[in-house]
Amino acid sequence: MRLSYPSSIKIIRVPCTGKVDILHILRAFEKGADGVYAVGCMEGDCHFNSGNFRARKRMEQARKLLNTVGVGGERVQMFNLSSADGPRFAEYAREMDQRIRDLGPSPIKMAMKKAA
Amino acid sequence: MIVADKKPIEEIIQQVEAYRNVLILGCNECVTVCEAGGKKEVGILASALRMYFINNGKDMRIDEITLERQCDHEYLEEIRDRIDKYDAVISLACGVGVQFMAEKYLSKPIYPGVNTCFLGVTDKRGLWTERCQACGQCILANTAGICPISRCAKRILNGPCGGSSKGKCEINKDLDCAWQLIVDRLKALGRMDDYEKLFSIKDWSTDRAGGPRKVVREDVQI
């Protein structure tokens, strides 16, 4: 398909979104990420039954925590799509890229730069 | 196990914001099982605090250590050579661990990172319920293995009371009446004769009524 999506996005592959832990998300922000999103299979289609539901809950936990510490929970998002749906993958990537650009850089990244 | 619940991060931030070097100390035992104070929760709290303080322009160093237990000398001793590096410690152990830590490191401020709740079981993932109040004189042999002290709102010994309705307690319609559970189990065991035996007044001196308690076992002392 040779679809393009924003180069700002770094993909971290996991065997299932059920592998994604809240710590992975928090550490990404600590290391300067401006946003994090997880792309899982369609709900009900998880090969391991509940991996994508677990991921959704963890993204929600991360969202709450990031709101509490002043980073902004809207910087995390869970998306669901079929693994055969490349165009939608690119669409979600563009959507997230635009959202983060609208929000601006992560306050953590800015604070780290200032402190350095 | 001892069941604990996470404290709100805002409360913890308020406690430690005056310090510069803080250690978050987890415990590998009960609080790990109830997902409140194990290695993972230490990591989450440390990450959240680091982000909060850097975001607020504060240079705060936050380290993470998780001990096997915080209720035994030998494990708490493991941090003796490092403890001076920190201005304060947030202990994610139960109240026992927090206090033992405070006793051992007299001049180090210790803050609890969890609310210690009760002695209970994991009913299912994310749901913990009370089973024991450590009254010091177990009567489970006579109550079909179901404890009216911890599971009856009135701690009643010859129940049920008049507030038991359709197997539920009057204080909460979702709460099982402990005495209904006892009767049901006595029936299942074919031991309803035991239900006719009345309990005499319980000696509460082994409970908290007798003040802080201790167990002395000279046979195992060295």
Q: Mean pLDDT by 10-residue block, N- to C-terminus, for chain B (222 residues)?
A: 97 96 98 97 98 94 98 97 97 98 96 98 96 96 96 95 96 96 97 93 90 95 91
Predicted pLDDT of residue A104: 96
- CA nearest to B41 within chain A: A23
Q: Which of A26, A69, A75 to mutate to test the interface with B (most CBs of B within 10 A)?
A: A69
Predicted pLDDT of residue B85: 95
Predicted pLDDT of residue A30: 95
A55-71 per-position pLDDT tens digit: 999 999 999 999 999 99
Whether A77 maps to a domain, the answer reads: yes
Q: In whole angstroms, give the CA distance from residue A99 to residue A39.
A: 16
Whether A115 maps to a domain, the answer reads: no
Predicted pLDDT of residue A19: 97
Residue of B48, B50, B55 lying closest to A65 (CB–CB): B48
Whether A5 maps to a domain, the answer reads: no
Enumerate the residues of chain B whose CB falls inside 8 A of the CB of residue A64. none
| Residue environment code for A96-112, b if the CB has 16+ CB neighbours within 10 A, otherwise e | bbeebeeeeebbbbebe
Whether A39 maps to a domain, the answer reads: yes
Enumerate the residues of chain A whose CB falls inside 8 A of the CB of residue B41. none
Whether A45 maps to a domain, the answer reads: yes
Those residues whose C-beta lies under 8 Å from the C-beta of residue B175, and which sit 6 or more positions away, are B153, B168, B169
Rounded mean pLDDT, A7-31 = 96
Residue of B10, B44, B50 lying closest to A22 (CB–CB): B44
Q: How close does chain A come to B61, measured CA to CA in Å? A: 13
Mean pLDDT of chain B: 96
Token look-up 């592959």 returns A13
Predicted pLDDT of residue B23: 98
Whether A38 maps to a domain, the answer reads: yes
Query: Within 10 Å of residue B64's Cβ, how many Cβ atoms?
Result: 15
Predicted pLDDT of residue B182: 97
Q: In whole angstroms, give the CA distance from residue B123 to residue A75.
A: 34
- Helical axes A51-68 vs B39-55, angle rounded to 10°: 40
Q: What angle do CA B142, B148, B149 make, to 5 degrees?
A: 110
Predicted pLDDT of residue B206: 93
Whether A90 maps to a domain, the answer reads: yes
> Does the pLDDT value for residue A1 go beyond 90?
no
Predicted pLDDT of residue A116: 75
Own/partner pairs, B62-66, CB within 8 angstroms, 24+ separation: B62/B22, B62/B23, B62/B24, B63/B21, B63/B22, B63/B23, B63/B24, B64/B23, B64/B24, B64/B26, B64/B39, B65/B23, B65/B24, B65/B25, B65/B26, B66/B25, B66/B26, B66/B27, B66/B28, B66/B38, B66/B39, B66/B42
Whether A68 maps to a domain, the answer reads: yes
> Does the pLDDT value for residue A28 go beyond 80?
yes
Q: Which of A24, A25, A26 to mutate to test the interface with B (most CBs of B within 10 A)?
A: A26
Domain enclosing residue A21, as ranges: 17-103
Decide: A28 and A102 in contact? Cβ < 8 Å.
no
> Does the pLDDT value for residue A113 go beyond 90?
no
B121-139 per-position pLDDT tens digit: 999 999 999 999 999 999 9
Structural domains of chain B, with CATH: 2-118 (3.40.50.2300), 133-200 (no CATH)
Question: What is this model's ipTM?
Answer: 0.93
- CA nearest to A113 within chain B: B54
Q: How close does chain A come to B96, measured CA to CA in Å? A: 27
Cβ B51–A27 below 8 Å, yes or no? no
Number of structural domains chain A divides into: 1
